[in-house]
Amino acid sequence: MINENVVKDRINEAEQLVKRAAGFVPQLRAQGKEIDDLRRIPEETIEAFKEAGLFKLGVPKVFGGHQVNFRTFIDVNSEIASGNGSASWVTTLTNVCNWLVATLFPKDVQQEVFGDGEARTCGVLEPRKCEVRRVEGGYVIEYGFWGFGSGSLHANWAVLGIPIVDENGKIIDQGMAILPMKDIEIKDDWYTTGLRGSGSNSLEVRGVFVPERRVVSISKAIVGEYQSGYSKEETLYHSALVPVFALVLLSPPLGMARAALEVFLEKLPNRKIQYTWHTSQAEATVTHLKVAEAAMKIDSAFLHVYRAADDIDRWAASGEYMDLHTRARVRMDSGYAVRLCWDAIDILASEGGGSLIAENNLLSQIVRDARGATNHGVLVPSTNFELYGRILCGQEPNTVLV
């Protein structure tokens, strides 16, 4: 039986984390141009996130982490996105990569990563190029190149997708390796119009040995064969891998959509509709229709995301790995919710007038960052529609990432 005091403590901890994240919103909005100009999050802001415990959402309590459920994960990171999309992209990816380490890798590897102070892990699942050689005790990455290393500028570890090969060099599986950042070169190639501050630079590795204990099979992980060894009571680390991947990426779009509505409404009282008889945009029926539509799309996105988060947590607590249908539906929830977020932001931007193109317009920055965030490959609505439709029609999935 669950101790009521433990439950209350968990609820209080979650509320405090969300409150701390929300406290950064004014600062992050004020830092928007600085973040874009630097193409990274300022170190003092990273340090403040660290002091607030905002990089420990997925870290086990045994290593001093918060070990939150996924609804809390979404709430904390979406609050940060209400301040700045790039900052949330960094905290979201760092937190989920920390969760990956805790979920997929054995305890001795976790001790290496989490046992020596603050762990901040970045990650890229699919390499653009990777040549691996099997050697005694592990693998040598002769050469590897990975794009979109979000959060790498602030990370001390990285989880990187690699081919697993046998002694003859034949690929027998796809794996994930964890390396210290000192073994990785960060390429200065992140020049973008959106999410500029995420520092999602490419990562390059040459001639690095990775011990076998720091390599896990992705194909096994996708079906819930994890090496972490946590008990059934430690439910967070029994959550379904691909649904978690997809769902957590909704944190930034959700927060940015909510911020777009807030910013639009803040400016509304002083606006008119140019080249019409409407001297007050707030009094125009067309504005009421558009604002209501945007608000409902945002609310609907949150409902889909919360349903998926609760399903992930419930299946993990049940002791059974989430079934294929539900895993596909969570990807569908994620793809549908991201479309709703973008639609809401687009509606509000369209109603915002020509001032949207001003460099110091916060809504303009939200649009740029949201366009980048909502285009992530795991979230593309058409891809997820097709996958879920195939499952509903009794067909085999067209991807292993379910």
pLDDT one-digit tens code per residue, 17-67: 999 999 999 999 999 999 999 999 999 999 999 999 999 999 999 999 999
Closest CA to 225 of 330, 329, 105, 134: 105
Closest CA to 215 of 172, 185, 182: 172
At residue 3, the pLDDT reads: 64
- Please give the model's pTM, rounded to 2 decimal places: 0.96
At residue 228, the pLDDT reads: 95
Say if residue 113's pLDDT is above 80.
yes
Domain ranges of the chain: 4-117, 121-222, 239-392
Confidence of residue 274 (pLDDT cuts 50, 70, 90): confident
| Residue carrying the six token digits 């499952």 | 391
3-state secondary structure of 161: strand
At residue 278, the pLDDT reads: 85
Tens digits of per-residue pLDDT, 166-180? 999 999 999 999 999
Say if residue 256's pLDDT is above 90.
yes
Q: What percentage of the chain exceeds 90 in pLDDT?
A: 92
Say if residue 236's pLDDT is above 60.
yes
Answer whether 314's CB lies under 8 Å from 69's CB: no
At residue 64, the pLDDT reads: 96
Joined tokens for residue 12: 């209080």
Confidence of residue 324 (pLDDT cuts 50, 70, 90): very high
At residue 5, the pLDDT reads: 67
Say if residue 289's pLDDT is above 70.
yes
Q: Given 1.20.140.10, 3.30.1360.70, 1.10.600.10, 1.20.1070.10, which CATH number is that of 239-392?
A: 1.20.140.10
At residue 2, the pLDDT reads: 56
Class of domain 121-222: mainly beta
Answer whether 375's CB lies under 8 Å from 338's CB: no
Q: What is the mean pLDDT of the chain?
A: 96
More confident residue, 352 or 225: 225
Joined tokens for residue 212: 């076998």
Q: Given 3.40.50.300, 3.20.20.100, 3.40.190.10, 1.10.540.10, which CATH number is that of 4-117?
A: 1.10.540.10
Confidence of residue 1 (pLDDT cuts 50, 70, 90): low
Average pLDDT over residues 72-85: 98
